[in-house]
Amino acid sequence: MPGRLEEEALPRRDFLGLAGLWAAAVAVVGSIAGMMRLPMPSVLPEGGHRFRVGRPEELPAGTEQVLPEQKVLLSSTPEGIAAISLVCTHLGCIVARTENGFACPCHGSVFANDGRVIGGPAPSGLKWLEVSQAIDGRLVVNGGRQVESGSYFKV
Ligand code: FES
């Protein structure tokens, strides 16, 4: 142990000053890393894929069907059949069907019945997906191909 008159290897004041500088540097680097990560989504929607659903006659006009595994709502109207993605366009949470449209449980985005954004942080409306019919007569939804909102598949 050094005596009072002996010089310490690293004086206490210098040590505290260096420790403070390192703590400030770590805080600045951590803050910058956090800010750079902000624009990136925490949840990424799955890549699209084609899947078969039922026959058109199983989905009469005026009815709809939620396909939870595919995260899609099938909606049958007099204009035709539409498939609307249930993946929120904000950060990829799954929206819930409500009486007047869709609501995202994560950050409160609200969508109209046709998927338009009517509130919240979502940057765009819910995707409408391509619907076609296979040779066996069953409907096919292409999860990887977006169509214009309001594009119904005519049966
Ligand atoms: S994921 Fe943020 S509002 Fe839906």
* pLDDT tens per residue, range 94-127: 999 999 999 999 999 999 999 999 999 999 999 9
Q: Range of 32's domain?
A: 1-40
Tokens of 55: 């026959």
Share of the chain above pLDDT 70, in %: 86
- Assess whether 106 and 84 both reside in one domain: yes
- Assess whether 129 and 80 both reside in one domain: yes
Residue for token pair 């800010």: 35
Would you state the pLDDT for residue 56? 92
* Any ligand 1 atom below 6 A from CB of 80: no
> CA-CA distance, 117 to 124, in Å (whole number)?
6
Query: What is the mean pLDDT of the segment spanning 6-34?
Result: 78
pTM for the whole structure? 0.71
Name the domain count of the chain: 2
- Assess whether 139 and 84 both reside in one domain: yes
- Assess whether 36 and 54 both reside in one domain: no
Instruction: Identify the sign of the CA torsion 113, 118, 119, 124.
Output: positive
- DSSP letter at 18? H
- Assess whether 36 and 14 both reside in one domain: yes
Query: What is the mean pLDDT of the segment spanning 126-138?
Result: 95
Query: What is the mean pLDDT of the segment spanning 80-89?
Result: 96
The 3-state DSSP class for residue 67 equals strand
Query: What is the mean pLDDT of the segment spanning 34-60?
Result: 73
- Assess whether 35 and 103 both reside in one domain: no
- Assess whether 59 and 24 both reside in one domain: no
Would you state the pLDDT for residue 76? 95
Is residue 119 within 8 A of residue 106, CB to CB? The reply is no
Note whether residue 82 is domain-resident: yes
> Average pLDDT, whole number, for the chain?
87
Is residue 109 within 8 A of residue 122, CB to CB? The reply is yes
Note whether residue 152 is domain-resident: no
Would you state the pLDDT for residue 4? 63
What is the distance in A from the centroid of ligand 1 to the CA of 149?
Answer: 20
Note whether residue 155 is domain-resident: no
Note whether residue 45 is domain-resident: no
Ligand 1, pocket-test mutation among 44, 86, 109, most atoms within 8 A of CB: 109
- Assess whether 99 and 122 both reside in one domain: yes
Ligand 1 nearest atom to the CA of residue 88, by list position: 4
What is the distance in A from the centroid of ligand 1 to the CA of 96?
Answer: 11
What CATH number did the domain enclosing 115 receive?
2.102.10.10
Phi-psi region of 71 (alpha: psi -120 to 50; beta: other; left: phi over 0): left
- Assess whether 63 and 100 both reside in one domain: yes
What Cα–Cα distance (Å) separates residue 92 from each residue in 41, 50, 121?
8, 19, 12
pLDDT at 43 over 70: no
Q: Residue whose CA is closest, atom 1 of ligand 1? A: 91
- Per-residue confidence at 87, pLDDT binned at 50, 70, 90? very high
